[in-house]
């Protein structure tokens, strides 16, 4: 099964970069990236150590509801291209472990899909979850429950 992997929408990122507020109603903070664990949720690339990054609260859902989780994410402060591909970026294999869960078309978590997997197993886990036609999409999160990306059927 082909996957459709995309970073968060460019319109949302552009709004934040222009000073718009995050999911908590606050402007993003600018910080200098330290170490190697600074993934941009727009280009799905890693922000290089020493580069400026934006730190903000993100809710990857259009509407508020009990399962509309909000958490911290990073973005490149400088312009970057939105990731759109049929595969997860290679660095996802190093997320160890990662959280994955499927959602119904109502945006509610499908508990039967939730799992903790090694990064190298994420593609197979996405394919397994999305093979169920009652699942609309999947979210991948870090072991700290930080949103990484949404995965749809390709």
Interval 42-81: pLDDT, tens: 999 999 999 999 999 999 999 999 999 999 999 999 999 9
- Give me the residue spans of the domains in the chain: 9-82, 90-153
pLDDT of residue 80: 98
**pLDDT over 90 at 34, yes or no:** yes
What is the arithmetic mean of pLDDT over 16-25? 98
CB atoms under 10 Å from CB of 58, counted, come to 22
What is the CATH number that goes with domain 9-82? 3.30.1740
Q: What's the pLDDT at 42?
A: 98
pLDDT per position as a tens digit, 100-140: 999 999 999 999 999 999 999 999 999 999 999 999 999 99
pLDDT band at 32 (very low <50, low <70, confident <90, very high): very high
Distances in Å between the Cα of 67 and the Cα atoms of 18, 32, 63, 110, 137 are: 28, 31, 10, 10, 14
**Rounded to an integer, what distance in angstroms lies between the CA atom of residue 101 and that of residue 117?**
11
In this prediction, residue 23 carries a pLDDT of 97
pLDDT at 36 exceeding the cut of 90: no
Within 10 angstroms of residue 3's Cβ, the number of other Cβ atoms is 18
């Amino acid at each position: 099964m082909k996957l459709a992997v995309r970073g968060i929408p460019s319109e949302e990122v552009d709004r934040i970069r222009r000073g718009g507020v995050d999911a908590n109603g606050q402007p993003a903070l600018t910080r200098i990236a330290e170490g190697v664990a600074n993934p941009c949720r727009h280009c799905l690339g890693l922000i290089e150590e020493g580069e400026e990054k934006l730190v903000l609260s993100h809710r990857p859902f259009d509407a508020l509801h009990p399962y509309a989780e909000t958490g911290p994410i990073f973005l490149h402060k400088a312009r970057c291209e939105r990731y759109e591909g049929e595969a997860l970026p290679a660095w996802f294999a190093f997320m160890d472990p990662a959280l994955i869960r499927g959602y119904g078309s109502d945006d509610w978590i499908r508990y039967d899909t939730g799992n903790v997997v090694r990064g190298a197993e994420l593609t197979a886990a996405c394919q397994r979850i999305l093979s169920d036609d009652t699942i609309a999409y999947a979210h991948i999160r870090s072991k700290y429950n930080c949103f990484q990306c949404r995965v749809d059927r390709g």
